[in-house]
Amino acid sequence: MKTKMYSLLVLFIFCGSFARANNDSIKLSEELMQALYMNYIDSIEQTFNYQKEGTVSLKNIATINIPKGFKYLDGEGSDVVLTDIWGNPPREDKSLGMLMPEDATVMSDSAFFINISFTSDGYVDDADAKKIDYDDMLSDMQKDSREINEARVEMGYETVNLVGWAAPPYYDLANKKLHWAKELKFGDAETNTLNYNIRILGRKGYLQLNAISDIGALPNVNANIQPILSSVNFNPGSQYADFNPDIDKVAAYGIGGLIAGKVLLKAGILAKLGLLLAKFWKVIAIAVVAFGAGVRRFFSGKSA
């Protein structure tokens, strides 16, 4: 799977070098560049096996019933999308899969993608849920994001600024499901990014569902959030109510820590903060139009 994608990247680089070397006499037509781009998209899609209906087991501790209008990509394919295609740093918590609209590709601009993972930090005590001032929390998170940007720049990645809540945090006490959305600005990007976060609490940790898209997808995400929330649940024995204080670990943070990510920040685990890099397909689109610049940016980021 990776070999085919890297081969296509090499093709882009070769064509770019050839075009620059012969700038005065040879110019690739827009039609050819578009054809190369579409061929790249098609080749990626052909490597993935999507499941469009039915039930999926997540690590034998949870189950997802694929919502109507969505399709599921397994964990292996999702890790390829996150790291090799969108250019994110490798994550400590491997993907358990990804949900996306059934008519979308991993390169779709207007679609949103929901990455699923599990964090085994222990039982998250939700006693603080009713005491949190989310306006104060936002101010603290914006300060934290500025500090994180210093580390990101040193690693060779662009900055990520937290603009504000795209949807304020909401905790469903009965079903132990938390969700909120952040509006992020990556570097000098003209369009801001939506990072919609869902946390489903369980006995030994929590499921993370992160929706990734441009901010314009927020109305679509809001329209589908309830079916998505209902579709994923822990299995009996792994549910929040199954917690046994005599043998089970308790997480070092509560609901506030889940949203703000302060404990994770102190631990130095930047990838768990949900501050994802810009999707790599945008870099590819730039490379098709202006060969070389975007590709160099990709490889410099990966080496960093």
**Does 171 have pLDDT greater than 90?**
yes
pLDDT band at 262, cuts 50/70/90? low
pLDDT band at 300, cuts 50/70/90? very low
The arithmetic mean of pLDDT across residues 270-294, rounded, is: 34
**Per-residue model confidence (pLDDT) at position 185:** 92
**Per-residue model confidence (pLDDT) at position 88:** 73
**Per-residue model confidence (pLDDT) at position 203:** 97
**Per-residue model confidence (pLDDT) at position 281:** 36
Radius of gyration of the chain (CA): 20
**Per-residue model confidence (pLDDT) at position 24:** 47
**Does 296 have pLDDT greater than 50?**
no
The arithmetic mean of pLDDT across residues 294-298, rounded, is: 26
**Does 204 have pLDDT greater than 70?**
yes
d(CA 283, CA 296): 10
Least confident of 63-67, 122-126, 150-154, 263-267: 263-267
d(CA 44, CA 81): 9
**Does 128 have pLDDT greater than 90?**
yes
**Per-residue model confidence (pLDDT) at position 227:** 93
Q: Specify the residue for token string 């504000």.
A: 164
- Checking 55-59 for CB contacts under 8 A at 24+ apart, the result is 56/97, 58/96, 58/97, 58/116, 58/118, 58/207, 58/232, 59/96, 59/118
Q: What is the pTM of this model?
A: 0.73
Least confident of 30-39, 165-174, 185-194: 30-39
CA dihedral 194, 278, 89, 160 (to 10 degrees): -70
Domains, the chain, ordered by start: 2-44+284-303 (no CATH), 55-71+99-276 (3.40.1000)
pLDDT band at 239, cuts 50/70/90? very high
**Per-residue model confidence (pLDDT) at position 268:** 40
- Mean pLDDT for the chain overall: 78
**Does 108 have pLDDT greater than 90?**
no
User: Between helices 30-45 and 2-21, what is the axis angle to 10°?
Assistant: 170
Report the side by side order of strands in the sheet with 97-101.
Answer: 50-51, 70-74, 97-101, 113-119, 206-214, 193-201, 177-186, 160-172
pLDDT band at 258, cuts 50/70/90? very high
